[in-house]
Homo-oligomer: A and B are copies of this chain.
Amino acid sequence: MSVHRNESTARWEGPDTSATRGPSVHVHRMEIETTKRVEIRDLTERVQEIVRAKGVEAGLVTLSSMHTTTAVFVNEPQSALLDDVEQLLERLAPRGEEWKHNDPRYSDCDRHNADAHLRAIVLGSSVTLQVADGALTMGQWQRVLMAELDGPRKRGLVLQVLAAA
**Contact across chains for B60 and A60 when beta carbons are under 8 A apart:** yes
**Which chain B residue shows the least CB distance to A144?**
B125
**Contact across chains for A81 and B127 when beta carbons are under 8 A apart:** no
Cα(A141)–Cα(B81), bound, Å? 30
**Contact across chains for A1 and B100 when beta carbons are under 8 A apart:** no
Q: How many copies does the complex hold?
A: 3
Q: Would you call A17 an interface residue if the criterion is a C-beta within 8 Å of the partner chain's C-beta atoms?
A: no
Q: Which of A81-140 contact B (CB under 8 A)?
A: 81, 83-85, 87-88, 91-93, 99-101, 103, 106-107, 109, 114, 117-118, 120-130, 132, 137-140
**Which chain B residue shows the least CB distance to A100?**
B80
Cα(A165)–Cα(B5), bound, Å? 13
Cα(A141)–Cα(B25), bound, Å? 25
Which A residues fall within an 8 A CB radius of B? 1-3, 5, 22-25, 27, 57-60, 62, 64-68, 73-76, 78-81, 83-85, 87-88, 91-93, 99-101, 103, 106-107, 109, 114, 117-118, 120-130, 132, 137-142, 156, 158, 160, 162, 164-165
28 contacts between A and B (CB under 8 A): A1-B165, A3-B57, A3-B164, A25-B58, A25-B59, A27-B132, A60-B62, A62-B128, A62-B130, A64-B130, A64-B137, A64-B138, A65-B139, A68-B74, A68-B75, A68-B76, A73-B125, A74-B125, A81-B114, A83-B100, A84-B118, A88-B93, A91-B92, A125-B127, A126-B128, A137-B158, A162-B162, A162-B164
